Structure 1
Amino acid sequence: MAGGIGREIALQHAREGAKVAVLARTVTAIEETVSLIEGEGGQAIAVSTDIIDLAAVENALTRVATELGPVDILIKNHGSFQGFGPIWDCDPLVWWRDVEINLRGTFNACRSAAPYDVGAG
């Protein structure tokens, strides 16, 4: 949720009173989003993580729950779309990275947030 649609989602949730954790790999971008939220009077933290590394995502969600409380909403706005085009032009490693980010990343985020969900258990 470092920029674009993700940033707007984070800002709008903060405007409605949510405490927001902004996660992405790019520290400067998430810190900028947090700064915008705080500039409008909201509460947010920036947490750098690699969405395809389960242990890193688990650690990130532990920090989120510790600093902000239960996870009421999880918005997965990550995605990579670099491996498109005719199959003969597609680099298999780039395509596989997209698969990891888009599928494994979603699984990792959901799995890691579930223990901190108010309704879980």
Structure 2
Amino acid sequence: MSNNQNAEPQLVAEMLAAFYTINSTRREQGKDPLDSKVIPGIAMRGIVPIFYLLDVTRELVDALQAGSYPTRETVLRRCIPPVQSVADYRQVGILVLDNRKVVLKCYEAFKKFLVRN
């Protein structure tokens, strides 16, 4: 149970680290760092995928490094696949064929956020 409870904060930490790494790599390559980037992520709760998007900004990362609060609010967008019964989905996940179809459509739609740029 603790792994499921920690999945979302761990994912957010990894998204922030990804943004930091992207900008570090850009600096090493002589490119300007990005001001912001939408970072996608997927957390699994058992056999249930939940999709996330976080618009990470340099201001946010700088504030975290300084141990202060950023001036702008940061919003974590979360998508639980729109299956017929969310309660059942949490129990059986993609074992039900109809749920599997919905989840696969979500994965397909989510791919556009995974393109490198």
Q: Whose Rg is larger?
A: 2
- Scaled to the shorter chain, the TM-score interval is 0.3 to 0.5
The structure with the largest strand share of the pair is 2
Q: TM-score, normalised by structure 2?
A: 0.34
With the length of structure 1 as denominator, give the TM-score of the two structures.
0.33
